[in-house]
């Protein structure tokens, strides 16, 4: 296999890895906020459910969760898995897993807001939801960005776990080329792809952080 073909194959795999990456963020960021709010809600039942959910997501390997989501419908309900289920299962597993981590990050951010802000907002006549949406949440975002960046970068590398479902993302492709070529070179190329993509994401996140740093500019 020529170098160009290998890079092209890996490039196509990279597109699929990016697909997992962006879709996971799209679903897990809002879902994580929802989980965080439920985790902090007044209802004890809701809090307990969320605590258990987060505990399971963080306490079991993501690779195992991928297998569970993918094969679960068949083993639990005898449903026949459709052709597109492989990809959907990957997105669901990733989104649900990352939502748990994001939820804890949101919770730490929301919890760090001084009570005085809520009191001041109430005196100024803000409703509860208005206080949260207009005063608390924007500050939370600003505070948790570094922690979010950490998770986002981990996610890029975690997409390679999809190889356990033989989804043709970059790591799976790299393994296949390596087997055919009886060489480790494709892994080196794969590492380069991951690194470059990570560098771009890290740069973008840094820019966003700077843009939000409006008080100390």
Cα 120–124–130 angle (5° rounding)?
90
Q: Which residue has the tokens 């470059």?
A: 196
E-assigned strand segments in the chain: none
Asked if 182 touches another protein (CB under 8 A), the answer is yes
Q: What is the distance between the alpha carbons of residues 12 and 97, in angstroms, rounded to a whole number?
A: 25
Distances (CA, A) of 118 to 42, 47, 73, 115, 182: 17, 22, 45, 5, 63
9 binds another protein (CB under 8 A): yes
Binding to another protein by residue 128, rule CB under 8 A?
yes
For another protein, the binding residues in 43-72 under the rule CB under 8 A are 67, 71
What is the distance between the alpha carbons of residues 162 and 172, in angstroms, rounded to a whole number? Answer: 8
Residue 31 interacts with another protein (CB under 8 A)? yes
The size of the interface with another protein (CB under 8 A), counted in residues, is 52
Q: Which stretch binds another protein (CB under 8 A): 74-82, 105-113, 139-147, 197-205?
A: 74-82
156 touches another protein by CB under 8 A = no
Contacting residues toward another protein, per CB under 8 A: 1-2, 5, 8-9, 12, 27, 30-31, 33-34, 37, 67, 71, 73-75, 78-86, 88, 92, 95, 127-130, 132-133, 163-166, 168, 172-173, 175-184
């Amino acid at each position: 296999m020529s170098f160009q073909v290998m890079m092209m194959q890996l490039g196509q795999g990279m597109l699929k890895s990016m697909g997992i990456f962006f879709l996971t963020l799209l679903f897990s960021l809002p879902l994580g906020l929802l989980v965080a709010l439920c985790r902090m809600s007044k209802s004890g039942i809701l809090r307990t459910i969320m605590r258990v959910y987060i505990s399971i997501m963080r306490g079991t390997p993501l690779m195992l969760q991928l297998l569970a989501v993918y094969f679960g419908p068949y083993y639990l309900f005898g449903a026949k898995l459709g052709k597109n289920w492989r990809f959907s299962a990957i997105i669901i597993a990733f989104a649900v897993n990352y939502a748990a981590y994001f939820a804890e990050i949101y919770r730490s951010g929301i919890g760090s807001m001084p009570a005085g802000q809520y009191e001041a907002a109430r005196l100024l006549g803000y409703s509860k939801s208005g206080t949260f949406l207009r005063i608390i949440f924007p500050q939370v975002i600003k505070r948790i960005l570094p922690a979010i960046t950490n998770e986002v970068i981990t996610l890029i590398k975690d997409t390679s776990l999809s190889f356990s479902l033989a989804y043709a993302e970059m790591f799976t492709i790299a393994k296949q080329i390596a087997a055919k070529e009886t060489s480790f070179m494709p892994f080196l190329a794969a590492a380069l792809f991951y690194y470059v993509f990570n560098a771009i994401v890290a740069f973008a996140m840094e820019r966003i952080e700077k843009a939000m740093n409006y008080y100390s500019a």
